[in-house]
Amino acid sequence: MARKKMNRERFEHLADKMVDGKAVFSAVMKAESGDGALSWISAAGGMESDSRYFIASVTKLYMTAIIMKYIEEGRLALEQKISDHLAEEYCRGLHLFRGVDYSADLTIYHLITNTSGIPDYFFHKQDNGRTVADELMEGKDEPWPPERTIELIRQLKPKFAPGTRGKAAYSDSNYQLLGKILERVAGKSIEDIFQEVIFLPLALTNSYIYSDVGDETPVPFYYGERKLWLPRYLASIGPEGGVVSTADEVMIFLKEFFAGRFFPKEKIEQLKRWNMIYPPPGLFMFGVGLEKLWIPKILMPFNHPGEILGFWGQTGSFAFYNPGKDIYLCGTTNQINGKGHRKATSAILKVIKGV
């Protein structure tokens, strides 16, 4: 009992410290052990413990659950060509690299592992030196559905040929395409797929793909000190980052994901085909629809946490599991510029060390 009380107090202090009024203005964090013996949640700043927030790219972990479930059911295979599922209008001229058209070689595996080489429409610089992210961070709220994304991709230079050994580059474009593939396979909208596979079975009543631009219930996020509200954009990016949820419900999904609810738990090992990724907010490893925090042992030589598996979101959202301590952590700092990610990383490591 004393240990439980000590950890709870230590955690609540860390959660409060994430909000400083300079880099982070609102935050929530939840931690829970695998057996449920330790469980707590704390919010600070402009959030309550039950606040809805944009989980951003943590959405991609939900996509992994659906894709792996469909693979188990025989509806998909990682080695399948994306052209087996997508209309020619989506595949044509999608990947032209050094005079070679690799569009017909692209597979589901390339997309879900970020080894496709397809440029990221969000961060890739265009001919004018600007990125879509630049426009959005300035408050220019525009939708970016798959059709518009693909049109831009065709104008950009791919990073490398698909499946080039040792090469990986994070690309939201990959998940736009995966979303269209899931819709084609299921014969349903991505919203209905998420409801059918995840939200309804887990009774997640506060989780949904954002689609109503008039919905102002999610907590806004920030870019530096500027509050951002981008409903038109967020309503257009369902499969890559459009889920709204709460810390309690992200925790439910996270535990079920690693417990084998959607696909056999032993197949988690098959997702650990790591490549190093270098986009904002920093270094991490990317596998088959799964991320791993990269913590160099030289930084923690005597108390290294081991694997920390899950997913980051651009808004400072996170959902991770540490098998070594059997502890799950999720939440958000609602900050895009990377400072929130650093604060969240620090808090995650301190909680793991303290349990």
pLDDT grade for 1, boundaries at 50, 70 and 90: very low
Residue with tokens 């693979």: 71
For residue 262, what are the CA distances in angstroms to 67, 183, 184, 218, 272? 9, 18, 20, 27, 17
Q: Is the peptide bond before 162 cis (omega within 30 degrees of 0)?
A: no
The pTM of this model reads 0.95
Q: How many domains does the chain have?
A: 1
Instruction: Report residue 245: phi and psi, to 5°.
Output: -160, -170
3-state secondary structure of 270: helix
E-state strands within the chain: 26-33, 39-45, 53-54, 96-97, 100-101, 208-209, 221-223, 226-228, 243-245, 275-277, 284-286, 291-293, 309-312, 318-322, 327-332
Distance CA 44, CA 23 (A): 13
Query: Which residue segment(s) compose the domain that 255 sits in?
Result: 2-354
pLDDT tens per residue, range 104-139: 999 999 999 999 999 999 998 888 889 999 999 999
Distance CA 246, CA 256 (A): 16
How many of the other CB atoms lie within 10 Å of CB of 4?
14
pLDDT tens per residue, range 208-249: 999 999 999 999 999 999 999 999 999 999 999 999 999 999
Considering only residues 288 and 37, tell me which one the structure prediction assigns the higher pLDDT: 288
pLDDT tens per residue, range 183-216: 999 999 999 999 999 999 999 999 999 999 999 9
CATH of the domain at 316: 3.40.710.10
pLDDT for res 354: 80
Maximum CA pair distance of the chain?
66
Considering only residues 23 and 259, tell me which one the structure prediction assigns the higher pLDDT: 259
